[in-house]
């Protein structure tokens, strides 16, 4: 009934009533005439020209349904939310209780069972109510509401109403009443993103539709009139929540924003109307009516979950993106069309995520600071950050440019930006701002970001959004400032105001966004994989970041890999191409622009040694030499096999080829040997590439989705594993053993070593410690960890030992229930040989005497066959170390390694390593002929003679004392 039903009749004039009668009568005649024409099949093309062609039999199948995501054990993780925040689970009408159906019929369409789709009686009743002083009700039947929701808009026009009636009649001729009700009750919006009665039952009461009571069913039927007004609970922002006046039923995270779920008493007021109508139409008895009224809806409400886990959104968001890519490939459709399938077709997505491991990894990140440094209050502020600040404590980069302003220097307590009086002036009504904190770009003015330090002594960065100033409303001054027109200032008087005694210029926070919580720095990401299957079992893409639409640094953030690229771009491809762990690299620089390049992390250069040793100490110069021996083209070939390069779709990979950019690309020694890549790699890409080594030579493309089923349980995609054979297991084992040495010997990765558990891996540190890495594996898992600041211009205080330390803590946590395995399984066909680490040839006594012998393993058949002949024997003076002469009293025999090729320091930045000219070239200049005879005939020397006797004359005439 209309709210106007209580108006008095004397408020109407006769003229008014007659006008309404004529108006409504004409409308009724038009409708009846049109409907009659439709019924008898007459042409009404002029009115129905825009009516869509429909197939009523597909109504149910065309309804969008919510897809669901499951973990590796088949447990429900989450319902997929589409951009319209619409959830739906379709159920058949036999699952719906009769009192639920009766409730909707009673309040929405009491003659549903008898009319042909259009309720002429209802239209007449609406007109009579209008004549009594009310307003015209819609008088739409359930069938009309269904076709409007399915095929038409909500425009209030005669054309739309006629189209609606026409389609309703068509539907009624095709479908049974039960089929219409089933479609309708699965289609309708019932608030809180719940579409259809099953989803509403879960949303409001955490139960299935068949378990709804009469009172709860009447509540749902009452929502239809206005979901925003009559939904049983409302969402309230935290800042607007009043605990004294509102009953909180729960809370929900909406894109990172906490919202309170608050009881809405209007819903029960409307429910009572529905119950009254049900009783009036004898759908329920008096006793049922009274019991339903007495039922406490407020206490019965039990907000349902859309997520069924306590994890962050990182794994689930990656599951959705990978599922979308798989659907696009399977159906040969665009990513956007595949996304629509994911959102709307009720798919079941089975993932590889192990909830236990995911929760353990997230526990490590929740306690990141404590795990790394212990008590945060006892560490230097800020933790792990090596910063440079100016006098006002703004953070500077290496060139002295401000990266982040101190929050108090730029923003007040209400998040308004404050600029000092010296940075602005008004000229002829225009506002001229000269401040480095503002940058004009197109139709916006960007504001520099700020930082703070939290209670745990972590650096926290806060991004500030841009505010709108149309391009025609400002100009850039010659001094680099921004001049904003007086017209714009007049139209936006609250944007800029002068405040306080110091006359600061306030830029109102109403015009831009401010990231209040901020992002803690440094950031980090970790990926855990089962390398035997390629399954991502856990991942975290950031520290202390909450919400849904957030940057997943594990899958989407590209950072330079540093030395962690060496195994996959240089040493493993080298082994695959016939080199061995005993092949020789030359740890000497080359000349670039007249200077030695590259520099090593350690002091100086060490000359010739094996590939194993070069990797062990992370020699930069040695790795550049090894890559030169291999060739950049061959390195690229293997990076393609290990998923780093996608030659067919180069826009999708992280590698920049010379074809893509001839002047700046990654086809060079710096990028491939040292990790100085143009874009960098994601932690997932780099970790997965190591999987080829861990998995005995087979690369498996990382996957987080195992299979996808349709709404009926039929398999759409099964076993998404994509494998590429890189080498045989023996070659992979050699590389695995080399990486084990990196951890065992502890030059760069001592912190990663696990007690009793075989551990292999490699560190990585980029220039100025912008990024630190450790990628490693055990007999159970492959784990990749990255740490760095979101702004690379802020350096880290520690190198890769910090990354390997955190990696170790993660590895310990996830291996707590694993049986220790001390060594990786060695395949048949691996042999050992004693070699010279200077020549790579078989060792001899000379090699051992020179201290250059080492035991190395080889794939049988690749071990050296020749004995080393690179050594020369020589004798040195024990005193001077120079070539001994015949006059040296004490000598030693030594062996000298002689390089096969002549070494020219000019080719190596003027540097000469110690193994060049290893054998001394100068003779001893201490023990000469003269010095020999001086010594020989000196007193007590072997040639000393006294009175013709070396013992002297015993015929002494003196007294014997």
345-362 core/surface letters (b: 16 or more CB in 10 A; e: else)? bbbbbbbbbbbebbebbb
Q: Is 395 exposed, middle or buried (0-12, 13-18, 19+ CB in 10 A)?
A: buried
Using an 8 Å Cβ cutoff, are 111 and 121 in contact?
yes
Q: What is the DSSP letter of 956?
A: -
Average pLDDT over residues 290-304: 92
Q: What does the pLDDT read at residue 122?
A: 64
Confidence check: pLDDT of 105 > 90 = yes
Confidence check: pLDDT of 960 > 90 = no
Hunting for tokens 């020209």 — which residue is that? Answer: 49
Hunting for tokens 């009568």 — which residue is that? Answer: 25
pLDDT > 90 fraction of the chain, expressed in percent and rounded = 63
The continuous run of DSSP H or E covering 951 comes out as none
Using an 8 Å Cβ cutoff, are 852 and 836 in contact?
yes
Using an 8 Å Cβ cutoff, are 343 and 387 in contact?
no
pLDDT in tens, 740-757: 999 999 788 999 999 999
Q: CA–CA separation, 642 vs 292, rounded Å?
A: 65
Alpha helix stretches (DSSP H) within 98-248: 98-108, 120-131, 142-151, 158-174, 177-187, 197-205, 214-223, 227-230
Distances (CA, A) of 682 to 687, 786, 787: 9, 9, 12
Sequence-ordered list of residues with C-beta below 8 angstroms from that of 253, at least 6 positions apart, any chain: 259, 546, 547, 548
pLDDT in tens, 399-443: 899 999 999 999 999 999 999 999 999 999 999 999 999 999 999
Average pLDDT over residues 700-711: 95
Question: How would residue 28 be classed by pLDDT, with cut points 50, 70 and 90?
Answer: low
- Among residues 406, 417, 413, 410, which one has the least CA distance to residue 507? 417
pLDDT in tens, 638-689: 999 999 999 999 999 999 999 999 999 999 999 999 999 999 999 999 999 9
Q: CA–CA separation, 65 vs 504, rounded Å?
A: 54
The continuous run of DSSP H or E covering 615 comes out as helix 611-616
Hunting for tokens 């079992």 — which residue is that? Answer: 537
Q: What does the pLDDT read at residue 818?
A: 95
Confidence check: pLDDT of 98 > 60 = yes
823-847 core/surface letters (b: 16 or more CB in 10 A; e: else)? ebeeeeeeeebebbbbbbbbbbebb
Q: What does the pLDDT read at residue 54?
A: 76
Of 604 and 954, the one with more pLDDT: 604
Confidence check: pLDDT of 705 > 60 = yes
Confidence check: pLDDT of 164 > 50 = yes
Using an 8 Å Cβ cutoff, are 152 and 187 in contact?
no
Of 903 and 313, the one with more pLDDT: 903
Two structure tokens written together for 945 = 């003679």
CA 100 to chain CA centroid, Å, is 44
Distances (CA, A) of 420 to 238, 400, 428, 464, 488: 33, 21, 20, 18, 21
Of 334 and 785, the one with more pLDDT: 785
Pairing of strands 698-700, 590-592: unpaired
Average pLDDT over residues 805-817: 97
Q: What does the pLDDT read at residue 140?
A: 85
Confidence check: pLDDT of 149 > 90 = no
pLDDT in tens, 822-881: 999 999 999 999 999 999 999 999 899 889 999 999 999 999 999 999 888 889 999 998
Q: What does the pLDDT read at residue 490?
A: 96
Q: What does the pLDDT read at residue 121?
A: 75
Q: CA–CA separation, 242 vs 175, rounded Å?
A: 49
Lowest mean pLDDT among 312-321, 387-396, 686-695: 312-321
pLDDT in tens, 182-199: 999 999 999 988 899 999
Confidence check: pLDDT of 153 > 50 = yes
Q: What does the pLDDT read at residue 161?
A: 77
pLDDT in tens, 504-545: 999 999 999 998 889 999 999 999 999 999 999 999 999 987
Confidence check: pLDDT of 106 > 80 = yes
Q: Taking the alpha carbons of 547, 548, 549, 555 in that order, is the dihedral positive or negative?
A: positive
pLDDT in tens, 491-500: 999 999 999 9
Average pLDDT over residues 250-266: 76
Two structure tokens written together for 848 = 């051992």
| pTM for the predicted model, two decimal places | 0.81
Confidence check: pLDDT of 48 > 90 = no
Question: How would residue 47 be classed by pLDDT, with cut points 50, 70 and 90?
Answer: low
Q: What does the pLDDT read at residue 18?
A: 54
Q: What does the pLDDT read at residue 83?
A: 61
Alpha helix stretches (DSSP H) within 374-517: 407-410, 486-491
pLDDT averaged over every residue in the chain: 87
Q: What does the pLDDT read at residue 1?
A: 33
């Amino acid at each position: 009934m209309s709210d106007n039903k209580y108006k008095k009749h004397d408020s109407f004039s006769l003229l008014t009533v007659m006008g309404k009668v004529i108006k409504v009568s004409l409308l009724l005649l038009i409708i009846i005439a049109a409907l009659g024409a439709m019924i008898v099949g007459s042409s009404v093309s002029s009115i129905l020209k825009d009516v869509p062609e429909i197939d009523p039999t597909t109504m149910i199948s065309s309804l969008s349904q919510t897809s669901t995501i499951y973990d590796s054990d088949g447990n429900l993780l989450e319902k997929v939310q589409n951009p319209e925040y619409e959830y739906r689970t379709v159920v058949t009408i036999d699952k719906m209780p009769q009192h639920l159906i009766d409730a909707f019929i009673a309040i929405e369409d009491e003659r549903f069972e008898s009319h042909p789709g259009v309720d002429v009686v209802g239209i007449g009743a609406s007109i009579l109510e209008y004549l009594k002083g009310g307003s015209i009700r819609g008088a739409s039947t359930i069938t009309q509401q269904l076709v409007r929701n399915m095929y038409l808009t909500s425009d209030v026009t005669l054309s739309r109403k006629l189209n609606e009636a026409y389609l309703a009649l068509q539907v009624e001729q095709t479908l049974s009443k039960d089929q219409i009700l089933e479609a309708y009750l699965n289609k309708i919006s019932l608030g809180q993103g719940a579409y259809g009665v099953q989803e509403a039952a879960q949303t409001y009461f955490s139960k299935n539709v068949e378990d709804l009571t009469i009172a709860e069913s009447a509540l749902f039927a009452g929502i239809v009139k206005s979901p925003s007004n009559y939904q049983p609970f409302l969402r309230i922002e935290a800042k607007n929540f009043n605990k004294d006046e509102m009953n909180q039923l729960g809370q929900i995270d909406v894109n990172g924003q906490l919202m309170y779920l608050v009881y809405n008493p209007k819903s029960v007021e409307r429910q009572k109307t529905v119950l009254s109508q049900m009783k009036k139409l004898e759908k329920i008895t008096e006793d049922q009516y009274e019991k339903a009224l007495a039922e406490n809806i407020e206490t019965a409400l039990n907000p349902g979950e859309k997520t069924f886990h306590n994890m962050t959104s990182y794994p689930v968001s990656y599951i959705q993106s990978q599922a979308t890519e798989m659907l696009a490939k399977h159906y040969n459709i665009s990513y956007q069309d595949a996304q629509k399938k994911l959102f709307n077709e009720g798919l079941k997505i089975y993932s590889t995520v192990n909830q236990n491991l995911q929760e353990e990894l997230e526990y490590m990140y929740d306690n990141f600071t404590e795990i790394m440094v212990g008590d945060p209050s006892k560490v230097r502020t800020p933790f792990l950050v090596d910063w440079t600040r100016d006098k006002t404590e703004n953070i500077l980069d290496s060139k002295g440019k401000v990266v982040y302003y101190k929050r108090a220097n730029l923003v007040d307590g209400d998040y308004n930006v404050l600029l000092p009086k010296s940075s602005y002036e008004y000229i002829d009504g225009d506002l001229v701002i000269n401040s480095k904190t503002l940058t004009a770009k197109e139709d916006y003015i960007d504001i520099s970001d700020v930082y703070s330090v939290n209670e745990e002594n972590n650096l926290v960065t806060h991004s500030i959004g841009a505010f709108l100033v149309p391009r025609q409303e400002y100009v850039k001054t010659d001094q680099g400032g921004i001049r904003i027109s007086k017209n714009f200032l007049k139209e936006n008087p609250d944007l800029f105001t002068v405040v306080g005694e110091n006359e600061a210029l306030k830029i109102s926070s109403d015009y831009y966004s401010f990231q209040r919580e901020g992002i803690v720095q440094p950031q980090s990401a970790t990926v855990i994989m089962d390398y035997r299957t390629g399954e991502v079992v856990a991942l975290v893409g950031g520290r202390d970041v909450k919400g849904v639409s957030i940057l997943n640094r594990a899958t989407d953030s590209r950072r330079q890999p540093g030395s962690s690229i060496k195994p996959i771009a240089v040493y493993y491809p080298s082994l695959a191409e016939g080199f061995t762990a005993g092949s020789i690299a030359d740890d000497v620089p080359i000349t670039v622009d007249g200077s030695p390049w590259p520099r090593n992390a350690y002091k100086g250069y060490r000359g010739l040694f094996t590939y194993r040793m070069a990797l062990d100490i992370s020699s930069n110069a040695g790795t550049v030499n090894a890559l030169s021996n291999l060739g950049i083209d061959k390195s690229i070939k293997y990076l393609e096999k290990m998923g780093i390069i996608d030659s067919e779709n180069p826009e999708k990979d992280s590698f920049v080829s010379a074809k893509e950019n001839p002047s700046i690309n990654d086809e060079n020694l710096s990028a491939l040997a040292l990790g100085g890549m143009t874009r960098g790699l994601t932690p997932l890409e780099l970790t997965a590439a190591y999987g080829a080594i861990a998995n005995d030579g087979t690369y498996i493309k990382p996957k987080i989705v195992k299979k996808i089923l349709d709404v009926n349980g039929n398999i759409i995609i099964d076993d998404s594993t994509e494998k590429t054979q890189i080498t045989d297991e023996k070659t992979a084992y050699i590389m695995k053993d080399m990486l084990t040495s990196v951890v065992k010997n502890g030059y760069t990765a001592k912190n990663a070593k696990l007690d009793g558990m075989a551990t292999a891996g490699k560190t990585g540190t980029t220039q100025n410690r912008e990024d630190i890495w450790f990628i490693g594996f055990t007999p159970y898992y492959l784990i990749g960890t990255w740490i760095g600041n979101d702004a690379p211009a802020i350096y880290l205080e520690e190198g890769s030992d910090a990354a390997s330390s955190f990696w170790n803590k993660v590895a310990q946590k996830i291996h707590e229930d694993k049986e220790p395995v001390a060594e990786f399984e060695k395949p048949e066909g691996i042999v050992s040989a004693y070699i010279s680490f200077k020549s790579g040839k078989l060792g001899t006594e000379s090699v051992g005497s020179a201290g250059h012998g080492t035991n190395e393993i080889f794939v049988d058949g690749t071990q050296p066959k020749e004995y080393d002949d690179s050594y020369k024997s020589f004798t040195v003076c024990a005193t001077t170390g120079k070539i001994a002469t015949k006059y040296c009293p004490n000598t030693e025999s030594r062996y000298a390694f002689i390089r096969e090729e002549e070494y020219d320091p000019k080719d190596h930045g003027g540097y000469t390593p110690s193994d060049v000219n290893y054998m001394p070239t100068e003779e001893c200049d201490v023990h000469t002929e003269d010095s020999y005879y001086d010594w020989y005939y000196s007193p007590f020397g072997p040639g000393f003679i006294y009175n013709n006797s070396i013992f002297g004359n015993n015929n002494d005439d003196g007294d014997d004392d």
